[in-house]
A and B are shown apart, each in its own frame.
Chain A
């Protein structure tokens, strides 16, 4: 293994100051020297410590920038975000589209309405009118929404029975979507078969009636008469 003497540039006149190392490494020596270098620390010399510190700071800087960039320009890692200039995706803050959900409505109903109307929707005879098979909750959505939002006070006839009711403005403290869930539940539970109610409809009605006290049932009927069955 006579590597050193087989160097193709062997015969050129030496340039610079030819030290003992200037002749080039043999392959074995090359591997050996670098293995040692990798295993052991270099001898400390002047200025030696600067490079590693500079490198560490530089590479940390790269990493920091990379993190920032990914946070800003990743579109929340959504598979549907394609444009860096697109408006912020609303997916993170809530569902884009409202879906009336009777199951959610049931929970809200139990918490807010069942004290009077009962979980069965049958009310309490002589005190609270029933919702099951009531013409008041079917038909026009506005009537039901208005009743939930501001309440009713006065004589009311439900399914042929008269009540002297005083319903508080339960819906005032609820969000549009919550009111819509409750209304949907009421219109579809206990054998009721009316259509669902959207949150946009609730918002519309809430805006239209502004701030006002409870409806008298007769006034509400003037705005939205009961539909014939």
Chain B
């Protein structure tokens, strides 16, 4: 924290002058990127408000309880879906595509197709969220949008995200960077997984527990292979880029990539330990979850060896982008460790049906993916808009609210979940006592949700101030 007093301004500075000059790659990107990014930020604010309402309801059930539209189940589902499909997907579309275009020198000419995909995605999602609030929600978390939204989202995904694969295929010289593998992998994995999950869970429901298995598999892949892999791609880009140093032990990176993609989906049944699915499936899930430590070790070696040389940590702290990205990396490593440890049968039996799993998920979707996305936007937006971040105070407010909110939210969910799990396993403690004991943790959750909302509003104000004040880029290098 002492670095706080350093003279360095953490907010991004614009390019050398107020005069916006975009490279060819960036000028084609600008429109679609800003479209995705602006919708992402709007969804983020909506999701934060909904999450705050849901969090308050956990310790004050009568809060907004008189209205049917704001009952707990609907608000929670809407908060989760707006956060994941609204903020997460839109922001990842934007950042993934920017990364691929930069790394592959891709000059994007058909921006309207991606923008069309983005518009479709957001319209379908808006319809779905409205339906959820109206009470038309399904029973599977993250697949609870109405069934008919699924195909539209899939189509919109293909329109929006496949450009990064095109950018990869057209890269000059056949050279490769680890970020590109992760994004290509994520872009191929997600539509396939989403399609199969839609078919097996919603359209042609499979029999019995296979449905639950398919759902767990979908969630696992969504978390690891879309959020995780895309976030790692950005982290792999920004750390060497900003520190100006090649990644340490880079030869290990392919091992991390392939093992992550191999073990992520197989680990899904570990979420269903003790469920009536054959024991060998559960055991495969446990083994795959523990073997998930292989990519985590590789990532740790790659990132920590790059960051720990030559004052890398303090330099990261002084760069706004890397400050967020490093928090994201540490969160991802913690998440991988927790996933492996908590998949063992004894721990899983204690922690099942508590807030612990929720804390783990938040560690990935917020701690890793969202933090890295924030870092990426602090890097990318000034380049694309050619203007300053309007207020460096708001940048500070954003970082500290998000960081503290993350710590409190995840800490409360993990510790509260652990405590509740221990008590639930003790027959002497009644269910009412367990609920009463968890009230302080729910209160902490509300505080965290409030902090996150403050941070996100600060971020949104800054970002929209920047986008709106940006001049239309006039570019020498523009190709059209």
A4 — nearest CB in chain B belongs to which residue?
A: B244
CA distance A79 to B209 in the complex (A): 13
CB-CB under 8 A from B16, the residues of chain A are: 5-6, 10
Interface contact B15-A31, CB-CB below 8 Å: no
Task: Kindly state whether residue A229 has any CB partner on chain B within 8 Å.
Answer: no
By secondary structure, the A interface counts as helix
Known: A27-B102, A69-B290. 10 other contacts (CB 8 A): A1-B105, A8-B382, A12-B13, A21-B244, A27-B103, A38-B176, A55-B298, A73-B282, A74-B280, A76-B280
Cβ contacts B310-333/A at 8 Å (1 or 0 each): 110011001111000000000000
CA distance A3 to B244 in the complex (A): 13
Within 8 A of B (CB), among A53-92: 55, 58-59, 62-63, 65-66, 69-70, 73-84
Kindly list the 4 A-B residue pairs having the minimum CB-CB distance in the complex, ordered from nearest.
A8-B12, A16-B311, A74-B280, A75-B279
Interface contact B276-A82, CB-CB below 8 Å: yes
CA distance A156 to B321 in the complex (A): 103
Task: Kindly state whether residue B131 has any CB partner on chain A within 8 Å.
Answer: no
A-B contact pairs, 11 of them (CB 8 A): A8-B13, A15-B318, A34-B176, A34-B178, A37-B250, A59-B297, A69-B283, A69-B290, A73-B279, A75-B280, A82-B279
B16 — nearest CB in chain A belongs to which residue?
A: A5
CB-CB under 8 A from A30, the residues of chain B are: 103, 177, 237, 240-241
Interface contact A42-B310, CB-CB below 8 Å: no
Interface contact B177-A35, CB-CB below 8 Å: yes
Task: Kindly state whether residue A9 has any CB partner on chain B within 8 Å.
Answer: yes
CB-CB under 8 A from B301, the residues of chain A are: 51, 55
Cβ contact of B310, chosen from A5, A17, A35, cutoff 8 A: A17
Contact A28:B345 (CB < 8 A) given known A15-B311, A73-B283: no
Interface contact A80-B176, CB-CB below 8 Å: no
Contact A37:B246 (CB < 8 A) given known A5-B15, A51-B301: yes
Within 8 A of A (CB), among B173-194: 175-178
The distance from the CB of B293 to the nearest CB of chain A, in whole angstroms, is 7
Seen from chain A, the residues whose Cβ lies within 8 Å of a Cβ on chain B are 1-3, 5-13, 15-17, 19, 21-25, 27-28, 30-35, 37-38, 41-42, 51, 55, 58-59, 62-63, 65-66, 69-70, 73-84
Cβ contacts B359-390/A at 8 Å (1 or 0 each): 00000000000000000001100110000000
CA distance A66 to B291 in the complex (A): 8
Within 8 A of A (CB), among B189-247: 237, 240-247
The distance from the CB of A182 to the nearest CB of chain B, in whole angstroms, is 38
CB-CB under 8 A from A15, the residues of chain B are: 6, 8, 311, 314-315, 318
Task: Kindly state whether residue B278 has any CB partner on chain A within 8 Å.
Answer: yes
Interface contact A81-B240, CB-CB below 8 Å: no
Task: Kindly state whether residue B427 has any CB partner on chain A within 8 Å.
Answer: no
Interface contact A9-B321, CB-CB below 8 Å: yes
B293 — nearest CB in chain A belongs to which residue?
A: A62
Interface contact A70-B14, CB-CB below 8 Å: no
A5 — nearest CB in chain B belongs to which residue?
A: B16
Interface contact A74-B279, CB-CB below 8 Å: yes
The distance from the CB of A71 to the nearest CB of chain B, in whole angstroms, is 9
CB-CB under 8 A from A3, the residues of chain B are: 23
Task: Kindly state whether residue B287 has any CB partner on chain A within 8 Å.
Answer: yes
CB-CB under 8 A from A41, the residues of chain B are: 251
Contact A34:B177 (CB < 8 A) given known A5-B15, A62-B293, A75-B279: yes
Task: Kindly state whether residue B147 has any CB partner on chain A within 8 Å.
Answer: no
CA distance A11 to B389 in the complex (A): 14
The distance from the CB of B296 to the nearest CB of chain A, in whole angstroms, is 11
A77 — nearest CB in chain B belongs to which residue?
A: B280
Task: Kindly state whether residue B404 has any CB partner on chain A within 8 Å.
Answer: no
B380 — nearest CB in chain A belongs to which residue?
A: A8
Seen from chain B, the residues whose Cβ lies within 8 Å of a Cβ on chain A are 6-9, 12-16, 21, 23-24, 102-103, 105, 175-178, 237, 240-247, 249-254, 276-280, 282-284, 286-287, 290-291, 293-294, 297-298, 301, 310-311, 314-315, 318-321, 345, 378-379, 382-383, 477
The distance from the CB of A1 to the nearest CB of chain B, in whole angstroms, is 5
CB-CB under 8 A from B283, the residues of chain A are: 69-70, 73-74, 84
CA distance A154 to B477 in the complex (A): 116
CA distance A31 to B171 in the complex (A): 11
CB-CB under 8 A from B254, the residues of chain A are: 38
Q: Which of B6, B250, B277 has the most CB of A within 10 A?
A: B250
CB-CB under 8 A from A65, the residues of chain B are: 290
Interface contact A28-B13, CB-CB below 8 Å: no
The distance from the CB of A11 to the nearest CB of chain B, in whole angstroms, is 5
CB-CB under 8 A from B287, the residues of chain A are: 66, 69-70
Interface contact A6-B290, CB-CB below 8 Å: no
CB-CB under 8 A from A1, the residues of chain B are: 23-24, 105, 477
Cβ contact of A83, chosen from B23, B237, B279, B280, cutoff 8 A: B279
CA distance A62 to B177 in the complex (A): 28
The distance from the CB of A28 to the nearest CB of chain B, in whole angstroms, is 7
A69 — nearest CB in chain B belongs to which residue?
A: B287
Interface contact A81-B278, CB-CB below 8 Å: yes
CB-CB under 8 A from B253, the residues of chain A are: 38
CB-CB under 8 A from A2, the residues of chain B are: 21, 23
Q: Which of A5, A8, A69 has the most CB of B within 10 A?
A: A8
CA distance A62 to B280 in the complex (A): 18
Interface contact B249-A51, CB-CB below 8 Å: yes
Interface contact B250-A9, CB-CB below 8 Å: no
CB-CB under 8 A from A35, the residues of chain B are: 175-177
CA distance A55 to B254 in the complex (A): 14
The distance from the CB of A70 to the nearest CB of chain B, in whole angstroms, is 6
Interface contact B15-A81, CB-CB below 8 Å: no
Contact A10:B250 (CB < 8 A) given known A16-B311, A25-B240, A59-B294: no
The distance from the CB of A80 to the nearest CB of chain B, in whole angstroms, is 7
Q: Which of B13, B244, B249 has the most CB of A within 10 A?
A: B244
The distance from the CB of B70 to the nearest CB of chain A, in whole angstroms, is 40
Cβ contact of A34, chosen from B8, B13, B250, cutoff 8 A: B250
A84 — nearest CB in chain B belongs to which residue?
A: B279
CA distance A82 to B256 in the complex (A): 33
Interface contact B383-A6, CB-CB below 8 Å: yes
B283 — nearest CB in chain A belongs to which residue?
A: A73
CA distance A15 to B6 in the complex (A): 10
CB-CB under 8 A from A22, the residues of chain B are: 243-244
CB-CB under 8 A from B243, the residues of chain A are: 22, 24
Contact A13:B8 (CB < 8 A) given known A34-B178, A35-B177, A81-B278: yes
CA distance A74 to B293 in the complex (A): 21
